[in-house]
A = this chain, B = another copy of it.
Amino acid sequence: MDYEFLIEDLDLNKSQKAIGTDKGLAKIGDAIVNLSYSVAKSNFLTKNNPNKKPIRTGKKVGRTILEAALKKANLKNFAKNRANAHDLADTVEALVAYVWLANNITLNEIIDLITENLAGNLYNRQEEIKNATNAFTELLNNIKKFLPDK
């Protein structure tokens, strides 16, 4: 099944703010972001594990990471005016859900993009934040072309 009917209203009237401030989209996007990052982090840790033994992990992506990625990708226009960190993170999640529901990117493509852009020692919290921010910035840079320009 195809889920594009879930964004029919947003497609009729494509607006940056309508997409970027949709609370339902942000909830679906939250789950996409957490799943993608969990698998990407597991991929990265496994590939860099000297003995190649699988390392499976799950990780909720914090708002600091998503907020910073939105700013670095210059997509703050999609957020509401006077948005706080929480609002900005929600906007990232809404944008990811929008392009996924529109069939412009698959879950595997999202996971692979994040995996390829991870680096460093993810066991160090500060390094993980920095590298995860870069990876989500790259993801946003890649999906920009599927988003309305005003």
A residues with CB within 8 A of B: 1, 3, 5-10, 22, 24-28, 30-32, 34-35, 38-39, 42-43, 46, 53-59, 97, 107-108, 111-112, 115
Query: Are B27 and A58 closer than 8 Å at their CB atoms?
Result: yes
Q: Considering residues A10, A27, A35, A115, which has the most beta carbons from chain B within 10 angstroms of its beta carbon?
A: A35
Write the chain B residue with the least CB distance to A56: B24
Main secondary structure of the interface of A (DSSP, over half): helix
Query: Are B115 and A24 closer than 8 Å at their CB atoms?
Result: no
Top 9 A-B pairs, shortest CB-CB distance: A27-B58, A24-B56, A31-B35, A31-B34, A1-B112, A6-B54, A28-B38, A24-B57, A31-B38
Copies in the complex: 2
Query: Are A22 and B56 closer than 8 Å at their CB atoms?
Result: yes
Contacts A3-B42, A9-B53, A34-B34 aside, 10 further interface pairs with beta carbons under 8 A come to A1-B43, A3-B111, A6-B46, A7-B54, A8-B54, A24-B42, A28-B42, A28-B56, A32-B35, A56-B97
